[in-house]
Structure 1
Amino acid sequence: MLRAAENGDVRELTRLLENNANIQERDNHGFSPLHEAAVYGHEDAVRLLLENNADTAARDNGGSSPLHWAAVNGHEGAVRLLLENNADIAASTNGGSSPLHWAAMNGHEGAVRLLLEKNADIAARDNDGSSPLHLAAMNGDEGVVRLLLENNADIAASTNDGDSPLHLAARSGHVVAVRLLLENNADTAARDNGGSSPLHLAAMNGHEGVVGLLLEKNADIAASTNDGYSPLHLAAVYGDEGAVRLLLEKNADIAARDNDGSTPLDVALRYGYGAVAALLRQAAAAASPPQQAPVGQAEAQRVGEELARERSRRIAAEELARARCVAAEEEQARERSRRVAAEEETRRVGEQLARERERCVVAEEEQARERSRRVAAEEETRRVGEQLARERERCVAAEEEQARERSRRVAAEEETRRVGEQLARERERCVVAEEELARTREQLEAVLQAQQRSIAVISIEELRGATDGFSDANKIGQGGFGSVFRTHQPLPSLPHSGPCAVKRLDASGTQGLREVHSEIRVLSVCWHEHLLPLVGFCLDEATPCLVYPLMAGNLESRVVDVPQGQQRFSWQERVRAIRDATRALVYLHTPLAARSAVLHRDIKPSNILLDALGNAKLADVGLAREAPELQGGVTHVTTQRLIGTPGFIDPLYIQSGRFSELTDGYAMGVSLLVCLGGRPAIPVVDRFGNALEGLAPAETFTDPTAEWPPDVAEQALEVVRGLIWGRLPSQRMVLSQALSLLEAMADAQRLRPGIRDDGIELAIDA
């Protein structure tokens, strides 16, 4: 995009914009495509970018806008387009320059006129206190100086150094600019911060033409700077004979002394300017002729001839100075002509390129039309051939129609038979599903009786009554399983259970039904103080329900996504919650007489629920499965699809498809890391990368609201490193070892067995 704008390639820009290229793209200097097009004056490119909402206010690294660059290079067409599109005419660069400053500085009269027509601030100052007139005078451009003066530019304005426009023009020796300023009553007596007048600066820099103009305007020839220098002192300091001669002709005081007591002659002798010293001695002698005896006629004639020669030299010097002024003015005029010619040539070449591009486009369009005509002719030929073929086919079709009719009749009879068989199979599947549901209900009831567990079988009518018909007012959660509702009254089947949460399966698919059956089976044979118990279920219809005690929230809502007004967990509460959940997970992994080892397969902070005292309960075992194969040295179970939550899935599981106790341990390690950093799983693993590699202390990345002590943070990170950082199963820490370390951390810090209740009830994760 930037290269196309720099080259003014409108066709490439159009293609890029049609493909949603970034019109605000920037290079290392902060240039946008609009900057590039404005710098080189590509009007068509500028127009196209503006039509596509390019930002006219964009700034490069120096604070310059596209309008600044169009103005400084004198691209009037680009300036006009930008102004028509409301470019900020008062925008300032980092140095405080406006577009008018830049146009005036480089002598672009056309750009200056356009900006003034749009009410550009002619009195604006840059960081050095310079106005556009200061810069134009310093540059010596006659047209720009005249245009600014015609628009009432402040001729007496001073920069931060006290320079007026006349000071800058005199210092640079721009005779034409000085004449224009003097014609507009510029103050020849103005002083800069060092006490210098324009005459001082012209004399110091040897600009004889400017010295002559200023003397003609009665500039103060005896003015002194802060150091006591007169214009004659400064001309002598820099050894300029012409300026010294002009000042002496105007009776400059050769006896004036600076703050060190030095005369102009002393200064010329100090700096070794012999010719200037001779002029000053001659002037001193003429001013104070010595008393001497009368001279003879020959001596008088010699003195007269010497004076005549001196007058001739003076006249020649004046004529030379005037000739230099005229030559300088003519050279400036020629330079302006050359600049105008160059700008005209640039415009002409641009228009020629535009016409050439238009001719290319017309030629390409004509080629496209010719291709279209050729394709149309070929299509017509093909169509006629196909029509003839269809005529022949219709003749054959008449003979074949009866045969097809017979085939259709046979096919219809076959389809009727197939549909009948399909309906019969569908009815059979429905019967099998109903029988399977009944068998599952009987098996679960048998398991419950065998385990002597108090898991109630609850009717759907009872659940509807307790949730107001599963109304939205009682809905407290939504997830991949379905919806979660709270009961507003005790359930008759569970009179002592208190408030409950009812998870209701969405009526779509069989995957959720399998997870319901899995959760009932697992929780009917598993019981642990930190495992969320199932207190009831309902399998009365196609949308089964599971009933749990209503919890106060989950770990994620107290560590990462903390609601407004809710207090974040301290580090002690986080360690305690992870420890409690790890206890439950180790219990699930331990095979018992009544069951095999159970793999949870969905460990994450949102599945670690909290009661009102902050005690953690591991929940959501819908994806869990018993693993009887984890016996006799078998270490893993192979699955056909990835199961779990992104960010908590073990990379070893992703690579191999093998799920084991270490896979659950990886997810628990990431959950502990979330508690350490107070961030979601994916960014927090990246954030702790250096700490896990041992390149940075853990406290650098911990959640500051939890106030982790550095030693505890390092201990917790060591547990995380053991659970998730090994690249091979043999390099991973087993969960029972991690639990021992967590128990030691909790015991060492004497964690209290409860936290305050914030009174906010949240749903268990559906």
Structure 2
Amino acid sequence: MPVKPRISVGETFRSPFGRGGQGHSVKSIADLMSETDISFVSSSRPSTDRMSSVTYDFMDSGEPLGFQLAQTLASHLFTQDQSSLAPVTIRDFHQFHKIAAEHHLMGDMESEMRRLKLELKQTMDLYSTACREALTAKRKLNRWRIEEERRLEESRFSEETALSIIEQEKARCREAIEAAEEAKKRAAMEAQRRLNIEKALKEAEKTKRAKDNLSYHDIRYRRYIAVKVLRPDAAQGRSQFQREVEVLSLIRHPNMVLLLGACPEYGILVYEYMAKGSLEDRLFKRGNTPALSWQIRFRIVAEIATGLLFLHQTKPEPLVHRDLKPGNILLDNNYISKISDVGLARLVPTTSENVTQYHMTSAAGTFCYIDPEYQQTGMLGVKSDVYSLGILLLQVITAKPPMGLTHIVEQAIENETLKEIVDSDVPDWPIEETFRFA
């Protein structure tokens, strides 16, 4: 459809819905209709078409509604040629008023829409403000929560620190109390030790006087006796003293030290005198004594085995020495060996013909010579002395300390280097006999 040109209001007429003519002639719609020949009927299209075009022309305009209607009406009343007017009927006029009323209603709706949009915008602004305030409040709450957690953690840490300090102080207090009690115990033990020392000195003085009287009054005993004095502060001294007196007073054997007398009041034992001292002193050549020959060593071992067999065959029950070592083997002037120090000896009940064992609550003897089985299980038997005898035999041929000696000899036998570990002060060792001996 061809676009109808609009006529400027300033060129032809002013809208009756305007705000005043300001010097220009303004025609009303009634005058315009009276001046228009409504008897003329258009031969081309109905006037409703023109009115419809009016509707579409001002619907999208942003100008005031009255001005839009007047301008649109004017543009449809006149043709392109301003000298000829288009005929307008009453029907067109009523249709125009109907459209104007509809557009007035649409204007109200648009106003209501604008108001609603404004309210919506304000509501959105309020919502945004509320969101921002809520976010700010949430951040403040988070900061407050973090601060409270920090304070709580600091408080908890302070409490733990305080409790730790209290525990430390309690521990120090306990340690101080224990130290005081320990010091008190040590002081009491020291006082008791001093009393024991004083008592021991007095008893030693009495013993010395008794021994001097015994030695100097009878010159015959100066070379033939040895006096053993019991230590008064020894825990097991009295029981060992009684045991040694009981055992030695009941047995006699050429390879057992002879007990000549005893003084229980002062803890004195009188033995036969052994001029060469102990086997341990001779093996390690103490006092610049010469080394024992291998013949003497083998004979000493045979004598010790004989004396030990005698103890194990005592009736009615075997007697176990429990402390057999070179220090308890004494030698006379002719290097005849005798077993001494039987204070730890124990009578063991016989459980069968070949097995003799006795359970002990604690092992007794010298550490390196104690049977491992006896040390671990407490089962005492004649085999315990046999183990001690074996360690003694290894010392006789090597003249070495007992610690780890069995391992050294085993390695030498495996490597066939036994000759390197025997006592080097004896030059003529019979290696084959020594190997069988080991």
Corresponding residue for residue 281 of structure 2: 557
* CA gap 1:491/1:589 in 2 versus in 1, 3 angstroms: farther
User: What's the offset of the Cα at 1:536?
Assistant: 0.5
Q: SS at 2:232's partner residue?
A: coil
Q: 2:325 & 2:368 partners in 1: Cα distance?
A: 9
The structure 1 residue matched to 2:231, chosen from 506, 511, 515, is 506
Q: 2:290 & 2:301 partners in 1: Cα distance?
A: 18
* CA gap 1:709/1:634 in 2 versus in 1, 3 angstroms: closer
Q: 1:377 & 1:497 partners in 2: Cα distance?
A: 78
The residue type paired with residue 524 of structure 1 is S
Contact persistence 2:215–2:222 (CA under 8 A): no
Corresponding residue for residue 262 of structure 1: none
Corresponding residue for residue 704 of structure 1: 424
Corresponding residue for residue 211 of structure 2: 467
TM-score, with normalisation over the residues of structure 1?
0.30
Does 1:663 find its partner at 2:384?
yes
Q: 1:639 & 1:563 partners in 2: Cα distance?
A: 36
Does 1:676 find its partner at 2:401?
no
Q: 2:164 & 2:350 partners in 1: Cα distance?
A: 71
The residue type paired with residue 281 of structure 2 is S
Q: SS at 2:227's partner residue?
A: strand
Query: Residues 161-180 of structure 1 correspond to what in structure 2 (within 5 A)?
Result: none
Query: Residues 264-343 of structure 1 correspond to what in structure 2 (within 5 A)?
Result: none
Corresponding residue for residue 357 of structure 2: 636
User: What's the offset of the Cα at 1:608?
Assistant: 0.7
Does 1:520 find its partner at 2:245?
yes
User: What's the offset of the Cα at 1:643?
Assistant: 1.3
Q: 2:262 & 2:165 partners in 1: Cα distance?
A: 74
Contact persistence 1:497–1:549 (CA under 8 A): no
The residue type paired with residue 294 of structure 2 is W
Contact persistence 1:504–1:546 (CA under 8 A): yes
* CA gap 1:466/1:508 in 2 versus in 1, 3 angstroms: closer
The structure 2 residue matched to 1:567, chosen from 277, 280, 290, is 290
Corresponding residue for residue 435 of structure 2: 714
Q: SS at 2:269's partner residue?
A: strand
User: What's the offset of the Cα at 1:612?
Assistant: 1.2
Does 1:586 find its partner at 2:309?
yes
Q: 2:386 & 2:164 partners in 1: Cα distance?
A: 71
Q: SS at 2:385's partner residue?
A: helix
Corresponding residue for residue 545 of structure 1: 268
1:411-440 per-residue CA deviation (whole Å, 9 max, x = no partner) reads xxxxxxxxxxxxxxxxxxxxxxxxxxxxxx
User: What's the offset of the Cα at 1:378?
Assistant: 3.8
Q: SS at 2:368's partner residue?
A: coil
* CA gap 1:657/1:380 in 2 versus in 1, 3 angstroms: closer
Q: SS at 1:565's partner residue?
A: coil
* CA gap 1:508/1:710 in 2 versus in 1, 3 angstroms: same
* CA gap 1:491/1:517 in 2 versus in 1, 3 angstroms: farther
The residue type paired with residue 696 of structure 1 is E
User: What's the offset of the Cα at 1:635?
Assistant: 2.2
* CA gap 1:687/1:377 in 2 versus in 1, 3 angstroms: closer
* CA gap 1:714/1:497 in 2 versus in 1, 3 angstroms: same
Corresponding residue for residue 216 of structure 2: 489
Q: SS at 2:334's partner residue?
A: coil
The structure 1 residue matched to 2:300, chosen from 568, 571, 577, is 577
Q: 2:256 & 2:337 partners in 1: Cα distance?
A: 8
* CA gap 1:381/1:649 in 2 versus in 1, 3 angstroms: closer
1:499-539 per-residue CA deviation (whole Å, 9 max, x = no partner) reads 42222222236521111111111111111111011110011
* CA gap 1:612/1:524 in 2 versus in 1, 3 angstroms: same
* CA gap 1:657/1:381 in 2 versus in 1, 3 angstroms: closer
* CA gap 1:582/1:630 in 2 versus in 1, 3 angstroms: farther
* CA gap 1:709/1:462 in 2 versus in 1, 3 angstroms: same
Q: 1:376 & 1:662 partners in 2: Cα distance?
A: 63
User: What's the offset of the Cα at 1:599?
Assistant: 0.6
Contact persistence 1:500–1:550 (CA under 8 A): yes
Higher relative CO (Cα under 8 Å, sequence separation at least 6) belongs to 2
The structure 2 residue matched to 1:602, chosen from 302, 306, 323, is 323
User: What's the offset of the Cα at 1:714?
Assistant: 1.1
User: What's the offset of the Cα at 1:629?
Assistant: 3.3
Contact persistence 1:490–1:497 (CA under 8 A): no
Contact persistence 1:600–1:624 (CA under 8 A): yes
User: What's the offset of the Cα at 1:585?
Assistant: 0.6
| Higher Rg of the two aligned structures | 2
User: What's the offset of the Cα at 1:465?
Assistant: 3.3
Q: 1:462 & 1:654 partners in 2: Cα distance?
A: 39
Q: 1:466 & 1:491 partners in 2: Cα distance?
A: 12
TM-score, with normalisation over the residues of structure 2?
0.50
Q: 1:683 & 1:379 partners in 2: Cα distance?
A: 53
Contact persistence 2:215–2:221 (CA under 8 A): no
Corresponding residue for residue 255 of structure 2: 530
* CA gap 1:379/1:666 in 2 versus in 1, 3 angstroms: closer
Which sections of structure 1, spanning at least 5 residues, go unmatched? 1-369, 383-459, 470-486, 718-766
Does 1:625 find its partner at 2:346?
yes
* CA gap 1:526/1:490 in 2 versus in 1, 3 angstroms: farther
Q: 2:344 & 2:271 partners in 1: Cα distance?
A: 17
Q: 2:223 & 2:217 partners in 1: Cα distance?
A: 6
The residue type paired with residue 622 of structure 1 is G
User: What's the offset of the Cα at 1:606?
Assistant: 0.8
- How many percent of aligned residue pairs carry the same amino acid? 29
Q: 1:625 & 1:466 partners in 2: Cα distance?
A: 31
Contact persistence 1:488–1:499 (CA under 8 A): no
* CA gap 1:685/1:468 in 2 versus in 1, 3 angstroms: same
* CA gap 1:374/1:565 in 2 versus in 1, 3 angstroms: same
Q: SS at 2:216's partner residue?
A: coil
* CA gap 1:654/1:496 in 2 versus in 1, 3 angstroms: closer
Q: 1:670 & 1:519 partners in 2: Cα distance?
A: 24
The residue type paired with residue 467 of structure 1 is K
Q: 1:378 & 1:635 partners in 2: Cα distance?
A: 66
Contact persistence 1:498–1:549 (CA under 8 A): no
User: What's the offset of the Cα at 1:658?
Assistant: 1.2
Q: 1:663 & 1:378 partners in 2: Cα distance?
A: 61
The residue type paired with residue 216 of structure 2 is Q
User: What's the offset of the Cα at 1:590?
Assistant: 0.8
Does 1:686 find its partner at 2:430?
no
Corresponding residue for residue 117 of structure 2: none
Contact persistence 1:597–1:630 (CA under 8 A): no
1:588-625 per-residue CA deviation (whole Å, 9 max, x = no partner) reads 11123xx5321111011111111111111111100001
Q: SS at 1:518's partner residue?
A: helix
Q: SS at 2:259's partner residue?
A: coil
Contact persistence 1:490–1:498 (CA under 8 A): no
The residue type paired with residue 261 of structure 2 is G
User: What's the offset of the Cα at 1:672?
Assistant: 0.6
Q: 1:510 & 1:379 partners in 2: Cα distance?
A: 47
Q: 2:307 & 2:164 partners in 1: Cα distance?
A: 78
Q: 1:378 & 1:687 partners in 2: Cα distance?
A: 60
1:144-200 per-residue CA deviation (whole Å, 9 max, x = no partner) reads xxxxxxxxxxxxxxxxxxxxxxxxxxxxxxxxxxxxxxxxxxxxxxxxxxxxxxxxx
* CA gap 1:668/1:378 in 2 versus in 1, 3 angstroms: closer
The residue type paired with residue 661 of structure 1 is V
User: What's the offset of the Cα at 1:698?
Assistant: 2.4
Which sections of structure 2, spanning at least 5 residues, go unmatched? 1-153, 167-203
Q: 1:696 & 1:380 partners in 2: Cα distance?
A: 66
The residue type paired with residue 556 of structure 1 is E
